[in-house]
Structure 1
């Protein structure tokens, strides 16, 4: 927490404060984002660049938009065309694409003349642009779309799993959720259906469990297709850590992996659990409660995020701010 810096707005200008609210980088930017890997995106006079934690520009603000770095490359935009810079700020792949995605496994999806293909980190097109959409590669496979159908390709551009699906997810924990018509099921990396059970919706697997919809109710299955938590909710998200969000009617709460309700399904909305606190919405405002369902921070915010090292990002009147666990604003 001592080294963390947080963007803050003051008189329509942005700077950075530490975890005690002390100004570390002066309020001199038109916009400032959070630090990631010790650099932060900032905007000056309508152009974007990066600073370090000393407040020094490490990449001059000369781009219409920039993304953070993946595999030492960042997507940049100049006049509605996209390319890539390295961490020295050199434009190593020219801004010539209609769309560009981040590098993973040494390749990136780019759009040219209305179709997606893949380039390597030298900018060479290694898979011809022939797809209507294209995801990042994960463990050697990428989900791609042709027309209205989804399939999977390998890094040589070969079709690994045919374009048979009306919906597809990336592979998570070795499995992907796919759909044919209104039937959802799971396949392995050979394209084989792994158990003989269909669902009305199927999420990706996370921590060996997945939320699925079966006969209009949500529950959780393991990788054998066995219900670990029986379908009895109107909606559910996947588990993230110990807890999952569930809903009945228009109300939301949290359950644990034993299927026990730990936060009553009484709230207008809920977001997540972090560092001992659950984020909940009451009468259109967000706050935080503890495991005993007691209010820890009053619901007075328009949006909230998770706590990290005792600090959470919140939004009030479209202005991002940061709070401590006692509810005080940095």
Structure 2
């Protein structure tokens, strides 16, 4: 069954994620470019030594001194960052990159430059984004609406209303046709939405869990994923095998080996085999934490242990 867009957005709300267009992040949100700029400017007027140099502010301008307090790079920048791998991002109205002698390795051509990681940085010009290496080579055209860095040298890129996966050479691994894509990995896989259905891809862009689910948790919990089809929840494994059938109106991630489920407006707990460990009798229930969970039965609230025994 196909869902309209507003239903898809409502479905996404249960993920507790924050979004930039089609790119999703675990809360708290990855900082926006403006936030990153503000954070950089809010740093103290002197830094700890970084690769033998200390970033220092003097008379409203930033420069670098050595540990003998001798000026190595003149105080000339509006903002400056610490050195990493012999390079530092600095700003004088626009952003560039200098080496430890103060030479401009990357010209002041950009509205923003992220920190380098694995020799690659995200750059911004006129609200468009691209990738650049430490030799000032553009790895991509600067024509993406947003780029989000992942781990292991991967990026999620956004053009228009769609996202795709890119590596740190600037090669697109998938077409840019996903409605949503999460900018991190879970068990080595990436959660995404295509044609209003949810699934996972792997680092090569191959579909690992097919896009057949109306809702699908973005992270594995204790080796399993919550999934919804035809308004019922169940659990699948990394190979898309159904471990627990689609039986429940509500289902939570596993915690301490148990998951809260609901059927006919009552709550209880199942284990990872799908066996009901604590009867589905409660008017409300919370997840287990540190071996206990709060439940409500007939208007009374109390705690139970992982066998269902009341804790007074």
TM-score (norm 2): 0.56
Deviation sequence 1:213-257 (CA, Å, 0-9, x none): 3334544433223344x6xxxxxxxxxxxxxxxxxxxxxxxxxxx
SS of corresponding position for 2:223: coil
Q: Please say if 1:81 is aligned against 2:162.
A: yes
Deviation sequence 1:75-116 (CA, Å, 0-9, x none): 322111111123455432231212223421122232222222
Is 112-121 or 15-24 further displaced after alignment?
A: 15-24
In structure 2, relative to structure 1, the CA distance for the partners of 1:210 and 1:76 (3 Å cut) is: farther
SS of corresponding position for 1:85: strand
Partners of 1:219 and 1:44 lie apart in 2 by 57
Q: Which gives a bigger RCO, structure 1 or 2 (Cα 8 Å, sep 6+)?
A: 2
Partners of 1:21 and 1:210 lie apart in 2 by 48
Partners of 1:94 and 1:184 lie apart in 2 by 42
Q: Please say if 1:91 is aligned against 2:115.
A: no
Partners of 1:57 and 1:211 lie apart in 2 by 57
Is 27-36 or 13-22 further displaced after alignment?
A: 27-36
Q: Show the counterpart of 2:242.
A: 159
Q: Show the counterpart of 2:44.
A: 20
Max radius of gyration: which structure?
Answer: 2
In structure 2, relative to structure 1, the CA distance for the partners of 1:45 and 1:176 (3 Å cut) is: farther
Greater fraction of residues in strand? 1
Give, in angstroms, the shift of residue 150 of structure 1.
0.8
Q: Show the counterpart of 2:274.
A: 191
Deviation sequence 1:268-293 (CA, Å, 0-9, x none): xxxxxxxxxxxxxxxxxxxxxxxxxx
Partners of 2:123 and 2:294 lie apart in 1 by 38
Unaligned runs of 5+ in 1: 1-5, 231-330
1:165/1:178 contact within 8 Å kept = yes
Q: Show the counterpart of 1:171.
A: 254
TM-score (norm 1): 0.53
1:1-330 equivalence runs, <5 A: 14=38, 16-17=40-41, 20=44, 24-25=80-81, 26=91, 44-48=125-129, 62-70=143-151, 72-101=153-182, 102-135=184-217, 136-196=219-279, 198-216=281-299, 218-228=301-311
SS of corresponding position for 1:106: coil
Partners of 2:122 and 2:252 lie apart in 1 by 30
Partners of 1:31 and 1:219 lie apart in 2 by 53
SS of corresponding position for 1:196: strand
Q: Show the counterpart of 1:242.
A: none
Provide the alpha-carbon RMSD of the alignment: 4.2
1:70/1:104 contact within 8 Å kept = no
SS of corresponding position for 1:161: strand
Give, in angstroms, the shift of residue 139 of structure 1.
3.7
